[in-house]
Amino acid sequence: MTGLDRIDRSLLVLLQQDASKSISDLGEQVGLSSSPCARRIRRLESEGYITATTARVSREKLNLDIMVFVHVRLSKHQDLVVSNFEDSVSRMKEVISCYTVSGAFDYLLQVVCEDFSEYEKWLKRLQKLDAVTQMDSSFSIRTVKEAGIYSV
């Protein structure tokens, strides 16, 4: 982060809060006119500080009422087995994030489904994957904080 000055850091925070703001609005908030602000944002993108611009979508509006955190343990850790598991999970529309983790399990998956029936169907598909030996599910009751902002 040594290449970032106060304006760059401010832009990164503002874009995390609301990436739909216009360049002129962002520039005004950091004390730049539109052209220099746009150049800075393009530089932050080209240097990899900004990796994507996305929209947050309402799970409720999409009737995705069930959110589950699923820990998964594999029986084997050979490259091909791990790669096949990760490829399979990456293609599952219900899995919105997947992390390799330390501890008793190998992976933590964040899963969203319309209802418990859909979750059960998805769980059966997961159980059929090669080398999956143990799973532990925790159902989200209420969201306290989501999509936090990286302080820079």
Can you tell me which residue has the tokens 């008793």? 104
Does residue 145 lie within any of the structural domains?
Answer: no
Does residue 1 lie within any of the structural domains?
Answer: no
Does residue 148 lie within any of the structural domains?
Answer: no
Quote the DSSP letter at residue 130. T
| Structure token digits, residue 13 | 């925070």
> What is the reported pLDDT for 148?
84
* Cα–Cα distance, 78 to 111 (Å, whole number): 25
* Cα–Cα distance, 39 to 23 (Å, whole number): 10
* Domain of residue 13, CATH code: 1.10.10.10
Check whether residue 81 and residue 30 sit in a common domain. Answer: no
Check whether residue 35 and residue 72 sit in a common domain. Answer: no
Domain count for the chain: 2
pLDDT mean for each 10 residues of the chain (152 residues): 87 94 96 96 96 92 97 95 97 98 98 97 96 97 90 82
> What is the reported pLDDT for 147?
81
Check whether residue 31 and residue 71 sit in a common domain. Answer: no
* Cα–Cα distance, 114 to 120 (Å, whole number): 11
The range of the structural domain enclosing residue 12 comes to 6-46
> What is the reported pLDDT for 118?
98
Does residue 40 lie within any of the structural domains?
Answer: yes
> What is the reported pLDDT for 149?
86
pTM: 0.86
> What is the reported pLDDT for 2?
66
Strand-pairing partners, residue 111, are 68, 95
